[in-house]
């Protein structure tokens, strides 16, 4: 019995440790961008430096990627409907993650465990994620209309 539990635990650990398909945001303005971003950034080159979303990247990020960049000028044209849906689901997951963290910080602030300044920072992070989420959804709807 113990051996069966150990084997099941090892299988679960290997399944969790494998990187899942994710979405990556490339900052095309940065000079030291990853090698994965070079091609898509060249294709998206224009008068305004815009971020690019890569929908089929393997990996996992500990910080919320929607905090890093301003996605106001994001365009999702050229993605397949399946990739568009993956981007939408990913953006919703990141928004929910930010909301969950905000609620956790709000509870800690109400109990007096963190300062008001720490709570304001958490609120600002959540607001930035929500704004970037709205930019992604706007780009998603625009790309869906073009299909």
pLDDT in tens, 25-71: 777 777 776 777 777 777 766 656 667 776 655 555 667 778 877 88
Mean pLDDT rounded to a whole number for the chain: 77
Q: Would 9 be classed as within a structural domain?
A: no
Q: Would 43 be classed as within a structural domain?
A: yes
> Which residues are CB-neighbours of 41 under 8 A, at least 6 positions away?
26, 28, 33, 52
Q: Would 48 be classed as within a structural domain?
A: yes
Q: Would 4 be classed as within a structural domain?
A: no
Q: Would 102 be classed as within a structural domain?
A: yes
For the chain, how many structural domains are there in total? Answer: 1
State if pTM tops 0.85: no
Q: Tell me what the mean pLDDT of segment 96-114 comes to.
A: 96
Q: Would 6 be classed as within a structural domain?
A: no
Q: Would 52 be classed as within a structural domain?
A: yes
Q: Give the domain extent around 114.
A: 17-146
Q: Would 11 be classed as within a structural domain?
A: no
In terms of Cβ atoms closer than 10 Å to its own Cβ (0-12, 13-18, 19+), residue 15 is exposed
**Does residue 4 carry a pLDDT above 50?**
no
């Amino acid at each position: 019995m113990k051996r069966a539990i150990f084997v099941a635990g090892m299988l679960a650990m290997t399944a969790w440790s494998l990187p899942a398909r994710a979405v990556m945001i490339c900052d095309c303005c940065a000079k030291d961008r990853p090698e994965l971003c070079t091609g898509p950034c060249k294709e998206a080159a224009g008068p305004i430096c815009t971020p690019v979303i890569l929908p089929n990247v393997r990996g996992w990020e500990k910080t919320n990627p929607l905090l890093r960049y301003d996605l106001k000028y994001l365009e999702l044209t050229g993605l397949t409907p399946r990739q568009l849906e993956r981007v939408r689901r990913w953006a919703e997951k990141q928004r929910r993650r930010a909301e969950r963290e905000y609620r956790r910080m709000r509870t800690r602030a109400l109990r007096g465990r963190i300062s008001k300044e720490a709570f304001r920072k958490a609120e600002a992070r959540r607001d930035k994620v929500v704004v970037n989420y709205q930019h992604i959804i706007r780009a998603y709807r625009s790309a869906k209309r073009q299909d």
